[in-house]
Structure 1
């Protein structure tokens, strides 16, 4: 996802959302009213057909945001929409979803909530299943590392080796069990036979251990697996690579190499 449109009639809210998202590498556009969105005049160099995600305030002074949400859903169904509203009521959320919104953010929100919601939509859009190309995991790792360095928020990487004696005919069952246990925000990559790499945004060491326990418990549902046979290697950045007070963007390459070594894939070209 590259292009995000923020629709809110409050200048401070638009500025705050835009500032947070731009630091994460997104292209962010703004509109203070529904008219400029309907007429495609919110920017001189881009139109709605180029927008990937809209963050929409449901109570606009110029127009009911629900009407705009309905319009966007009918005319531009490919655009994902997250409703942002101070009215955190079940009826508002239900109506937003019924009109096509993919998620809801209640005001006032913090930085981590905004990023988690946006990255969730981003992950679903770009990663519908197992990504098998090495370049895919390297790109995702680079993105998460850059985000973590800028925001000082943790992320984790986990490599899981399944027992190699599993009959191939059970592979798809195991794959389905694994994918059913991850969040939409999490990324999973198939490195080679029975070897998986997970990149877990906004996940500290405690959250990582919960994730590992959840994933390795697939042995309870598949008689062909024995939990003790799993091989798990994991690392959480930055705490297990560098002291937070010494974090330096200039050392990006060193950090990336350290992460890969911690999970045992330093043999791959980085």
Structure 2
């Protein structure tokens, strides 16, 4: 579970943000505060993974809080959620390590996309000591993709979700196109389109399997971090 702190001086906006955050799987708002000073006190006592941070607040503003967090070496991540849309605020927030910058008013889909991207990166960092360029790009470059990502021709969202669910239920980690086609009940040609799509987005990878007799065969292997990548397509 990813533990979130919301820092916003407007109680109504903070409450809306809390509802948005907790509508996304694996996120929980541990605490909401209405000033930077309150946030600093909480951070000394509570383990927080991610802060949703407003900039315009009485007293210490959000950027000052972000700079102070970095100066004292706290590793908490920050997504700025603010009405400030000028170049200076945006540039300074990114320079001090904000992982995303969302301008008010925003849509739930925009915040959800940011949270899912953050979850994907957090999962990769936790599960793997070394990352491939493809895995890293799936997280770092998501902003260049539309929030609703168009699937390739011949790949249906509903069927894709069913196939992914079945893949996660398999007892064997390796499987062939033919095996999965029989399991789902669609043609081998159609199944290959789905499995190749999953391979191209680094959810599956191909393994060459050598048997005791006959030719070696290719089978697909699920990549553990792939579920966070796939969430953007479903």
Output the TM-score relative to the length of structure 1. Answer: 0.52
Distance 1:76 1:255, change over 3 A: same
Deviations 1:189-219 (A, max 9, x none): xxxxxxxxxxx99544x2x339xxxxxxxxx
3-state DSSP of counterpart to 2:42: coil
Q: Please, what is the CA RMSD of the aligned residues?
A: 4.0
Q: Distance in 1 between matches of 2:69 and 2:114?
A: 20
Distance 1:20 1:9, change over 3 A: same
Q: 1:95 aligns with which of 92, 99, 112?
A: 92
Q: Distance in 2 between matches of 1:254 and 1:209?
A: 16
1:237 paired with 2:127, answer: no
Deviations 1:63-95 (A, max 9, x none): 222211111112243111111110111111011
What count of residue pairs does the alignment treat as equivalent?
Answer: 173
3-state DSSP of counterpart to 2:115: helix
1:209 paired with 2:209, answer: no
2:166 corresponds in structure 1 to 257
Q: Distance in 2 between matches of 1:6 and 1:22?
A: 12
Distance 1:64 1:203, change over 3 A: closer
Q: 1:57 aligns with which of 54, 65, 76?
A: 54
Deviations 1:86-136 (A, max 9, x none): 0111111011122222221100110111011122222222214996xxxxx
Q: CA deviation at 1:56?
A: 0.5
3-state DSSP of counterpart to 1:40: helix
2:28 corresponds in structure 1 to 27
Q: 2:45 aligns with which of 38, 44, 47?
A: 47
3-state DSSP of counterpart to 1:38: helix
1:13 paired with 2:13, answer: yes
Maintained 8 Å contact 2:54/2:82: yes
1:119 corresponds in structure 2 to 116
1:79 paired with 2:76, answer: yes
Deviations 1:28-60 (A, max 9, x none): 02111122212228xxxx934x11110110111
Maintained 8 Å contact 1:120/1:185: no
Distance 1:69 1:23, change over 3 A: same
Distance 1:56 1:180, change over 3 A: closer
